[in-house]
Chains A and B, each alone.
Chain A
């Protein structure tokens, strides 16, 4: 049967074949360019676990996510979580925070704020569920605090799988251990980890020394600060480095440890230049100056 070149089928088929051929040709030709750019962009775009999300969001929102609107959907879910947080609604807050990080695990603040809410706010709500805050036994409070801190740590562990090199995550873990449950062992572990990372804030090293001191490892804290001090920039250039505070802390440790003069950190120029020099008398039991606690 001869082929009718004017038939709809022939024309449509030819158009489709040509379109597919051209697009595939362009796809092939652009493959090196796509590989180059996608290679750079891909690592910041973790895949979504749709199986977890479908039940919670419904198919309409899933289509929105597939359409590339995950950032916006995550923001709205987070705002919803914040609404429940204001109402101290624990189940909804926790569920929506978990959902937010599942939808878009890229923004670090979702993880950090969620961890803070789980470890600082929710324990207080849970204690209040039992009655007046002051009347609830301390043992119960401690149990709740520890439970919530463990949940926050689980969340931050997941965050670390998406942001393995970001120092904010171990820093948040260290803060929570230090402030919420006074677990100085773990706090010291994570503060130390932070001090080894690029862009670590200066205060992390100071609190690491405090954590060691709280663990009774004052000598170790002292040695750490002695090594730290020469690496700090002058306070006139970087006030956050707080060189004077570190030096004061070193002197406090020397006094607390009753160190002989010969073993002490040599007097520094800022001490010698001070109008009221620091008392460097050996075996002194009272240190000059006060400890500026980073707490």
Chain B
């Protein structure tokens, strides 16, 4: 990649990012997510004790997963089709901008949006957890629970930022791939959500194909397990935030997870660029 190509990528990414954060949809999602994480404070009335921290973390991570998934799919599709519907893509591609640069720039812009979203949400979650944990530690009745210090692994929350980011990045790359050949925003969004569900269930095909007796069915299930990435693998919140001897994710496993996400993102972007190459705009 020469210097000017890199500059073009950055320019497209920057514009995509700015366009996204100016969208009402993005801002509404951010406000909803903040409200959901902050509302976890009200769970104090249930008086869970130290388990309350797990509940708050689960609830917060659930909010990040829900709104992050919506954001990855909807914003990617919206930003892609807004360029086509407003004819700005035509103007842009008439200049010396390659189509793969357009696709990659769009992805980088969305990736930045996702990074801002995930970092903000998990920072907020960490702050809520820290505040509540500090409170609980002052109660003598929970002394046993905190005998070895804090329960929450705050470094794990930092690690979670990257694993969540790669998961949403993968989802955005899937959406971009579908958008590269589909004609409408709505079709892209619906199909992307279906693909997301298939990716969440990929592990079933992956774990069960070898147990099937019928060779044809076995072959089909095996192929399906290879066609889709395993999104379930990214659900490592508990292992990272509340690690114990039995429940933990090794550093090798964590790096492998990020590598797995990065490979799929790169391949899907390549396929998107290939499909978009000859598309009429």
Measured CB to CB, the residues of A under 8 A from B are: 11, 15, 18-20, 22-24, 26-31, 33-34, 36-38, 40-42, 44-45, 63, 66-69, 71-72, 74-75, 78-79, 82, 106-109, 112-113, 165-166, 198, 201, 203, 238-240
Contacts and interface: CB of A to CB of B under 8 A. Distances in A.
Contact of A109 (B48, B236, B246): B48
Interface stretch (B5-13, B131-139, B251-259): B251-259
A69 B197 contact: no
B232 A27 contact: no
B59 interface: yes
Nearest to B252: A36
Contacts of A240: 143-144, 147
B51 A75 contact: no
B253 A36 contact: yes
B197 A72 contact: no
A239 to B, nearest CB: 8
Residue of A20, A23, A33, A74 with most partner-chain B CB within 10 A: A23
B203 interface: yes
Interface string B252-280: 11001101100110010011001100100
Contacts of B206: 34, 38
Contacts of B43: 79
B124 interface: no
Interface stretch (B90-98, B115-123, B183-191, B223-231): B223-231
A34 B65 contact: no
Nearest to A79: B43
A66 B51 CA distance: 26
A240 B58 CA distance: 29
Contacts of B143: 239-240
A290 to B, nearest CB: 20
Given A11-B278, A66-B201, A108-B54, 11 more contacts: A24-B227, A26-B264, A34-B233, A37-B257, A38-B206, A38-B230, A40-B249, A40-B253, A66-B197, A68-B69, A239-B143
Interface string B92-109: 000000000000000000
Interface residues of B, number: 60
Contacts, number: 136
> By CB atoms of chain A within 10 A, which of B62, B231, B270, B271 has the most?
B62
A26 B267 contact: yes
A288 to B, nearest CB: 27
Interface of B: 43, 46, 48, 51, 54-55, 58-59, 61-63, 65-66, 69, 143-144, 147, 181, 193, 196-197, 200-201, 203, 206-207, 223, 225-233, 235-239, 245-247, 249-250, 252-253, 256-257, 259-260, 263-264, 267, 270-271, 274-275, 278
A201 B148 CA distance: 12
Contacts of B58: 71, 74-75, 107
Contacts of A113: 46, 48, 51
A180 B238 CA distance: 32
A106 B65 contact: no
Given A26-B264, A27-B227, A67 B196 contact: yes
Nearest to B181: A15
B48 A69 contact: no
Given A18-B274, A113-B48, A165-B246, A66 B253 contact: no
Given A23-B227, A66-B197, A107-B55, A71 B65 contact: yes
Contacts of A203: 144
Given A40-B249, A42-B203, A66-B201, A71 B62 contact: yes
Q: Is the interface of B mostly helix, strand, loop or mixed?
A: helix
A273 B245 CA distance: 40
B34 to A, nearest CB: 16
Contact of A30 (B62, B260, B270): B260
Contacts of A63: 197
Nearest to A29: B263
A48 to B, nearest CB: 11
A71 B241 CA distance: 15
A239 B193 CA distance: 53
B106 to A, nearest CB: 19
A51 to B, nearest CB: 15
A34 B264 CA distance: 12
A41 B196 contact: no
Contacts of A29: 263
A251 to B, nearest CB: 25
Contacts of B274: 15, 18
A44 B242 CA distance: 12
Contacts of A34: 206, 230, 233, 260
